Structure 1
């Protein structure tokens, strides 16, 4: 009987100890939704893999929400806490008079991430070559499409009259549509552009990111209410992202590729490395999370040129919070 009492006591002590350990676990869960799975978001995956979120006491649950509309629906309905998506989506939501609109608080990428890929190899490419061509573009209203049209116009090309433009293909199906169709040019992200070059299916002839300048292309955002109620956790989140941004800036592309390889199992390591190198060389990865006003104004200019900028005052002060990022950097 005495042995049974001792055994019960030991079991109770163990259960109490385990319960106490659990109660001291200060990790806070943040549900993060990314608009797509993209090599363009390398610093985000680095923050997870290098344990930067964990160091801040955060448990980040990453899910891919596949598309700007779905991402914002998930954010506004509390399906996710933070969204990684193009900042144009925050403008669309704000223009609908949303009471609890989304606020951009940390920038991840600062240029367009697409490249102009030609089906045939061209040693002396000129933007004039696009005239009268069959061009496979991106979805209407999204940042890739708006930047693509903006760049074409900067080179004196009207995308709706000087060439045949197709914008009806779903994002995921664009690469296969280009290969199987009679398109002469396509707008593609990495690593697909590099894969095409390796296979001989297409050749990168220009960068839309280099041509369009800096824009808040992909940004972390949250609802106003969430930011107010979770300011400390958002600061921790931003600090982890900043650590990752600095790490990517200071680390060679091969090491970055190895770190995030598990997120792109079907892509060979050499392709990941060359793709990251291409993005680093053109300054696509933001070195810090601050979204400045010049970038915001460039975004509005691009949206206006595409006929997608809503009427009214799209206020930088209303839709962008730089205080958190500035605090993180200063500390």
Structure 2
């Protein structure tokens, strides 16, 4: 978990997380053996995840045996967040990382070679937003000008989507200070008036509403409406060295996404196995949207627009270099 003291500023690899009720096996990638002898490809993979509902597809694919059918041994390991998972992936402590898409765009902009191999979820107006204390004077988007807002990671999906959506509504965001807090620490910070507002996703959003917090703005709206939120990436070197493994991994996640697209309630069930989410909390969640099929490059490219508009990127990322190519 990140330090209890919030951070403010621009790009950082530190990211917030939460305690998991998940026992992860720390193991390094290993090569497979076939009847003809060892192959050169890694088939034992660790995927970095955080305890939010977005990452349900990894656990569905494990539980349903989709990875096994591809000849892969995949386990999930808790990390502090996507921005922390990317450098761990590049150093091969992880073979894949589930992260918000800005993490991958930023890594690519810093010449850290990554490839998005599978989609995760897309946001809705209900799955993420800005919350305040019930007695706060903040009533709507215009009142957020000049405030301090807690997000889980700076220069990432929270502050970028907030700034872009607010600016579209004519709100002056120059005076907004975004500070970094782990999700579990956000409500205490709000209640103690350390921040004016907090940006929350599931399972924290529904819990906050139950505790009396009040939503004043949906970040996945307007220019950010239904935007792809998160996906799974791998280091370029790993992708180049293990093409068969990567293709099999992507197919397994696509199958899991297909199941979740058809029946999103499966995510509410399985999130209880890898997070501290209770059955009651799971039933109260607003679920994101899963889509079938491979990575939608056109939809992902929307992040170029938002990151450029908010000054996080200075040049667009070439999508053919960032996504898995046929």
TM-score (norm: length of structure 2): 0.77
Number of the residue aligned with 2:187:
175
Matched, 1:32 2:36: no
Number of the residue aligned with 1:154:
168
Deviations 1:95-153 (A, max 9, x none): 3334xx1111211123375222232289x964234346554345321111111111111
Matched, 1:257 2:268: yes
Number of the residue aligned with 2:150:
136
Counterparts of 1:73-84 in structure 2 under 5 Å? 73-84=87-98
Aligned equivalents of 2:106 and 2:147: distance in 1? 32
Aligned equivalents of 1:132 and 1:74: distance in 2? 35
Aligned equivalents of 1:126 and 1:70: distance in 2? 32
**Structure with the higher fraction of residues in helix conformation:** 1
- With over 3 angstroms needed to count, the CA separation of the structure-2 counterparts of 1:225 and 1:248, relative to structure 1, is same
Number of the residue aligned with 2:287:
279
Q: Computing the radius of gyration over CA atoms, which structure comes out larger, 1 or 2?
A: 1
Counterparts of 1:47-86 in structure 2 under 5 Å? 47-86=61-100
Counterparts of 1:89-128 in structure 2 under 5 Å? 89-98=103-112, 101-111=113-123, 114-120=128-134, 126-128=140-142
Shift of 1:40: 2.0
Matched, 1:198 2:210: yes
Shift of 1:30: 1.2
Task: Provide structure 2 residue ranges, at least 5 long, that are not aligned to the other structure.
Answer: 1-32
1:299 to 279, 303, 313: 303
Number of the residue aligned with 1:165:
177
Q: Could you list the runs of 4 or more consecutive aligned residues of structure 1 that deviate by over 6 angstroms after TM superposition?
A: 22-27
Shift of 1:187: 1.0
RMSD over aligned Cα atoms: 2.9
* Farther-moved stretch of structure 1 (173-182 vs 297-306): 173-182
TM-score (norm: length of structure 1): 0.76
Counterparts of 1:319-330 in structure 2 under 5 Å? 319-323=322-326
- In the alignment of these two chains, the number of paired residues is 286
Aligned equivalents of 2:257 and 2:94: distance in 1? 23
